[in-house]
Chains A and B, each alone.
Chain A
Amino acid sequence: MAIKKISKAQPEKFEFNKKNKETADSIIKNYPSGKQQSAVMALLYLAQKQNDNWIPLSAMKYIAKYLDMPYIKVYEVATFYSMYNLTPVGKYFFQVCTTTPCMLRGAYNLVDVCKRKISEEENRLSKDGKTSWLEVECLGACVNAPMLQLNEDYYEDLDPKKLEQIIDKISNDEVPQPGSYRGRLSSEPENTRKTLIGNKNA
């Protein structure tokens, strides 16, 4: 993963809306007085949610002032964590896991599909401007590899064909069913097997 690029197009102003401001204040109250800077990660996440799933520079400045800390310290945090998006992302944001278990089960085939069907590069909006994708590290669903996260939901046990169908549905603004795409209930064993007895490769 290369260093995160900062979007060139930046909104001039950012401010928490009323609800988020209340939430932010209540988060800050969780910390002792004078340690309000500890709330920076939570506030960045709030800002990301408010601003179509990405954090503009004005939001970082706003949060720095809000928490009385230097701009660069907020900037450091925002560039460090991969889950903060610093460029606009699609309304439908695919995060493809490519860590070892998913990679072994063919995650890069999914990446190829994303490249073909969404955009050639990561974090670049598709032609219709609705979707974008990103390679990420382990999302903790290795049992259902290969998988990806679409906005808040996991789509598991995928293969290139199924992913193509998902992307096609998305482009018609239909949200496909999350979960396993091989008919499993969450991560139950396949073929209703209960033990490993009799499994040669176990």
Chain B
Amino acid sequence: MLKLKVNDIDVEVEEGTTVLQACEQAGAEIPRFCYHEKLSIAGNCRMCLVEMEKSPKPIASCAMPAAEGMVLKTNTEKVKKARKGVMEFLLANHPLDCPVCDQGGECDLQDQSMYYGIDKSRFKENKRYVPEKYMGPLIKTQMTRCIHCTRCIRFATEVAGVPELGAIGRGENMQITTYLEKAMESELSANVIDLCPVGALTSKPYVFEARPWELKKTETIDVMDAVGSNIRVDTYGWEVKRVLPRINEEINEEWISDKTRYACDGLKNQRLDTPYVKINNKLKPSSWDEAFKAVSERISTAKSEKIAGFIGDMTNMETTYAAKDFFEKTIKSENLESRYEKLYINTNVRSNYLFNSSIEGIEISDLIILIGTNPRFEATILNSRIRKNYLKNKTEIISLGDVGDLTYPYQVISNNTETIKDIIDNKHEISEKIKKSKYPSIIFGQSVLKLKSAPYIFEEFKKYLLENNKISDDWNALNILSKNSSTVGSYDLNVLSKNSSYEILNKLENNNFEILILFGQDNLNFEKKNEFIIYIGSHGDKGASIADVILPGATYTEQDGYFTNLEGKLQKAYKASYPPGEAKEDWQIINELSSFIKRKNLYKDKNQLIDSLINYLNLNNKNETDFVVPEYNFKSEKIITEEIDYYHSNVIARASKTMSECKNIRMSLPKTGTNN
């Protein structure tokens, strides 16, 4: 520990901290543009100048390491004058266009010039002109506003792992650009918009939409993938204008993926805003009563075992729980399934389907093995953590099969299941590596759980890890990477066929059901024959197109709802706006449907539902051994990581114009040489 004095306050800081961090610990605020906690230090904006005893000149506090016995002053006249000087230089070429700049109101330069700016300029020369740069469909540029902090360059190179941004030219003629103005090929690219301290990089889809002070801000969580990034949803009236990241060091740090940020315009398109009933083979808008009547007539005449329900990929846990209650109490059927493909899930203990190393824990992992997964597209934020680990520790990363550019180098080994057998039988070189490493992480993707030999792979690998003491109280090397935000929550609520068999899915394929209720489920793979399909959901997509009755529901920004992320964290999404038109919150639809069928509500109000849900989760600690591991055999097959359509992976993203644009651009891009 180092002892310093900042403005006559004694502070003790750890070795390796900078003067700026030490000053912050002492409660002194330091203005800055280029410095950012999560990026490397550049020290080029010079705004963070402080005075240090025995130093003839003020020092740039962000780039100076703290040392024993330093005496610092941050509030003297000299410091203020120095910062004013720096600010004058920064403003010399910065245009006075705050009234038409999208950053206005949340601009670091604007805020800091309130303290350090001078009301008039001494520069008589013309301001610099920099041509606009094309950076893809998400980032709007206005490079005359750029103050060359290079945060965007550092972000792209370090965090996103796509070294495509750079500074060309020099001195006054320096310009930030992508190589020959190509779109940035990263799923994290739009984070540079948040990083930009001025209005040089702003959000293209949000351009001239609203001012920050007009927006209602709701802190909530994201459902585009199973990571559960913490976000802030900004709404103007009913409309969701934009999504911003919220800091959560355990999950998404400060970043969110482009899909999280820009799929929000999909909340406005393709919405189901009124109930529909199919009459004479044509869907006709109807009232809720008519729709409920149509549904309840069919349900009350059908045999309960001929009715099945499917939970969707973005369904919150309240809805899932209400659906479960609805099936158990109202219909008296057990045919409720949350999977849409035949995944092997051992529900004996919760850790069998969680990402046990945890998102934060992956940073200390010393060996990462990817089996049938492409984390870059399945969990972008998690991938950036793996990259962070790689950059810091040069961790060995191994993948079964080549899955393309992951933004970090990895070793490719054979993707045959034989490889796994060899590892388990201690015949593969990787067996030694696993044994030797202290914190290995074995990441199973959903693609591997789909295989015929999935039970063998999972159970034997788990046994192997247990034998080698890699699953213990302080480290669990077994990780399942779920793709969807509802997956883990549904498993927690036991929404699976009995003994997680594929009974319901098999019956669905064989068209054994008469009535299907889809709770926002659009990914089912079956051929419709004579089933009567009820779709409860928000968007007119695959599910609604085959439905006979459509009950319009709400999306994640329109209702409160719990989600469990891939590492098992229970988080709540808050209501930021209202469902459009006649649409209702999902649990309400189920509740009212139940009262239509049985003349009895499932719940008095939402609180009762939540109490009951939390109670269920607490009681159900998964120690009961009703799951029997099925008999399994080894089968030699190829583990093929399913390619996912990143920009179109769910109904909201498919309805989003921005996402479609991104997809088109990504597809038309020739492979650049960034991966060399």
Contacts and interface: CB of A to CB of B under 8 A. Distances in A.
Given A2-B173, A80-B169, 6 more contacts: A68-B676, A70-B673, A75-B179, A75-B180, A76-B167, A79-B168
Interface in B151-168: 163-168
B170 interface: yes
B472 interface: no
A80 B170 contact: yes
Interface in B168-190: 168-170, 173, 175, 178-180
Contact of A76 (B168, B673, B676): B168
| Size class of the B contact interface (CB-based, 8 Å) | 10 to 19
A72 B168 CA distance: 9
Contact of A71 (B173, B175, B179): B179
A154 B122 CA distance: 41
B468 interface: no
Contacts of B300: none
A72 B163 contact: yes
Contacts of B163: 70, 72-73
Nearest to A60: B179
B469 interface: no
B623 to A, nearest CB: 51
Given A68-B676, A72-B164, A80-B169, A3 B178 contact: no
A34 B598 CA distance: 72
Contacts of B175: 3
15 contacts: A1-B173, A3-B168, A3-B175, A4-B169, A61-B673, A64-B676, A65-B673, A70-B166, A70-B676, A71-B179, A72-B163, A73-B163, A79-B168, A80-B168, A80-B169
Given A65-B676, A68-B676, A70-B674, A75 B173 contact: no
Contact of B165 (A2, A3, A72): A72
A64 B179 CA distance: 12
Nearest to B168: A79
A61 B164 CA distance: 13
B560 to A, nearest CB: 45
B672 interface: yes
B673 A64 contact: yes
A4 B173 CA distance: 9
Interface string A45-82: 00000000000010001001100111111011001100
A64 B166 CA distance: 14
Interface in A1-39: 1-4
B166 A73 contact: yes
A3 B173 contact: yes
Nearest to B672: A71
Task: Give the one of A65, A68, A70 with max B CB within 10 A.
Answer: A70
A57 B676 CA distance: 16
Interface of B: 163-170, 173, 175, 178-180, 672-674, 676
A70 B173 contact: no
Contact of B673 (A1, A2, A3, A71): A71
Contacts of A65: 673, 676
A64 B170 CA distance: 20
Interface residues of A, number: 18
Given A71-B179, A72-B179, A75-B179, A3 B676 contact: no
B670 to A, nearest CB: 12
Contacts of B170: 79-80
Contacts of A80: 168-170
Nearest to B674: A70
A79 B167 CA distance: 9
Across chains A and B, which 8 residue pairs bring their CB atoms closest together, nearest first? A72-B166, A70-B163, A79-B168, A3-B169, A3-B173, A72-B179, A76-B166, A71-B179
Given A1-B173, A64-B676, A75-B179, A70 B164 contact: yes
A76 B674 CA distance: 15
A78 B673 CA distance: 18
Contacts of A79: 168-170
Contacts of B673: 61, 64-65, 70-71
A75 B166 contact: yes
A92 B170 CA distance: 27
A75 B676 contact: no
Contacts of B165: 72
Contacts of A3: 168-169, 173, 175
A71 B157 CA distance: 12
A70 B185 CA distance: 13
A35 to B, nearest CB: 15
B674 A71 contact: yes
Contacts of A64: 673, 676
A69 B674 CA distance: 8
A1 B168 CA distance: 14
A73 B166 CA distance: 7
A56 to B, nearest CB: 13
A72 B182 CA distance: 11
Contacts of B674: 70-71
Contacts of B166: 70, 72-73, 75-76
A1 B167 CA distance: 16
Task: Give the one of A4, A71, A72 with max B CB within 10 A.
Answer: A72
Nearest to B163: A70
Nearest to B175: A3
Interface string A97-125: 00000000000000000000000000000
Contacts of A76: 166-168
Nearest to B156: A72
Contacts of B676: 64-65, 68-70
A72 B178 CA distance: 7
A79 to B, nearest CB: 4
A92 to B, nearest CB: 27
Contacts of B168: 3, 75-76, 79-80
Nearest to B153: A72
B185 to A, nearest CB: 12
Contacts of A71: 179, 672-674
Nearest to B164: A72
A138 to B, nearest CB: 15
Contacts of B178: 72
